[in-house]
Chain A
């Protein structure tokens, strides 16, 4: 069975603090892809990043960074120097070769307090 777990339902941090959103996945497939999406209050899901299972290199994009570790089946997302505009719901997701559907975690609601 495939599954994505985001254990943190809701997180609040003060602006400028760093925050890490956890994502743990389960899949029997050796080839799969992981994603992160952001859902701001406007409602649209915005694609942030895709990683394939053969590429464990960490990725950095501005204040955002992602840590992919196959050994722990985790794909964590860190926001450095958080800003109020980062307040949103963040979803981790998985798709594998065996299943053609994207499986989403339940999301983490992030509040950045001014």
Chain B
């Protein structure tokens, strides 16, 4: 049973606003990820972290930033939202090693 939570589930926001998407997990996992999912289903890794104070950019360039101050928390921030940021954002976590990741329910972001 996965214990990873994302808030909000849905967000509609105006252009230029700053937003933070929250992601928390209670499994004590060291690795955490953010994926962006386009309407065509494909998942793109935009950020990941190996542990506290570790953040790396993923394969898809993103204007968002992340932080990892606590093991359980991996928020994603957009300083100035634009319509091109409209997408579904999925957070995941996994144990150290080559193991499966567990996903949150996602945040569906719409920038108008």
Contacts and interface: CB of A to CB of B under 8 A. Distances in A.
Contacts of B104: 44
Interface stretch (A12-20, A61-69, A99-107): A99-107
Contacts of B108: 43
B33 to A, nearest CB: 8
Interface in A33-58: 33, 35, 37, 39, 42-47, 50
A91 interface: yes
A35 B101 CA distance: 10
B43 A104 contact: yes
B75 interface: no
Interface string B35-76: 000001111010010100000001100000000000000000
A95 B50 CA distance: 15
Contacts of A96: 98
A43 B58 contact: no
Contacts of A106: 40-42
A96 B98 CA distance: 7
B73 to A, nearest CB: 19
Interface residues of A, number: 25
A91 B40 CA distance: 13
Nearest to B101: A102
A37 B103 CA distance: 10
B41 A109 contact: yes
A33 B41 contact: no
Interface in B83-106: 88, 90, 92, 94, 98-106
A97 interface: yes
Nearest to A44: B105
A33 B105 contact: no
Nearest to B94: A102
Interface of A: 31-33, 35, 37, 39, 42-47, 50, 89, 91, 95-97, 100-102, 104, 106-107, 109
| Top 6 A-B pairs, shortest CB-CB distance | A45-B103, A107-B41, A43-B106, A44-B105, A104-B43, A95-B98
